[in-house]
A and B are shown apart, each in its own frame.
Chain A
């Protein structure tokens, strides 16, 4: 099916061949996973960010900061404090890249490369004619997120703090 071009998100080959990208990717991925696990665990404990901040004797903004995927300044001491406040165990797994790279092997998404052109006619001309199926773009509304400090007990996920990739 032809449609808007997919973004090539297959990183397997690049992870194999580009050590610098590999480190950047692993760092970004582990930071995002730590943040995700902390959010899930906090919600499982039915705490909002303010309540957790009080337990840790810090401010809500600090909790918000460390629950962000782009927070990179992790220390083990901080993680220990969070784990204690959330009654959780930390398990650190350090894995050799060659052992984990197969995880990233996935079906390569087909990317329809066209020249950069923002005009409809120009872009359409780059596609083979006659066999295209453009998707119906029906807009989906995204509702505003609840306040940062609000607990969301209804969306509890099972935490994965036990498999913490640092």
Chain B
């Protein structure tokens, strides 16, 4: 089953583009694999995050000694990426979780028709 890879917000692609070259390439390879094979390609370290970050899934990558985090959620056959960042400290990682969670909530709120400008859901 092919998956759709989406992002929220659109700045996520720019986050990927802002990574060092090898890390950017590795994240793109990961997302292409996820598009073809789903959210858990076995050659990647994919782990659902703990309870208070419920619904967020993390991919840990270590590229040239740099730790890259990809945070996403899965909705049916749609994988929505919320944040991609380089972990430079535990604090940065925690901030990354908070930001991803905030984005996730916003995306879910929007898709439930929380904003007046949005049409009825399908």
Q: Which residues of A are at the interface with B, using a C-beta cutoff of 8 A?
A: 3-9, 11, 20-21, 24-25, 27-29, 32, 35-36, 39, 67-70, 72, 111-121, 123-125, 127, 129-140, 142, 144-145
Contacts and interface: CB of A to CB of B under 8 A. Distances in A.
A123 B111 contact: no
A133 B119 contact: yes
List 9 A-B pairs, minimum CB-CB distance, nearest first: A116-B11, A24-B25, A35-B43, A69-B43, A28-B26, A4-B6, A25-B25, A137-B75, A140-B74
Interface residues of B, number: 65
B8 A32 contact: no
Contact of B10 (A70, A114, A120): A114
Classify the secondary structure of A's interface with B.
loop
B109 A145 contact: no
A27 B25 contact: yes
Contacts of A124: 110, 115, 117-118
A58 B112 CA distance: 52
Classify the secondary structure of B's interface with A.
mixed
Q: Which interface residue of B22, B40, B43, B110 has the most chain A CB atoms within 10 A? A: B43
A115 B10 CA distance: 7
B29 A29 contact: yes
Contact of B108 (A27, A36, A68, A137): A137
B10 A145 contact: no
A24 B22 contact: yes
13 contacts: A4-B80, A5-B9, A6-B4, A32-B43, A67-B43, A69-B41, A69-B61, A120-B109, A125-B117, A133-B119, A138-B75, A140-B74, A142-B39
A132 B116 CA distance: 12
B54 to A, nearest CB: 9
Contacts of A28: 22, 25-26, 28-29, 63
Given A4-B107, A6-B7, A9-B35, A135 B75 contact: yes
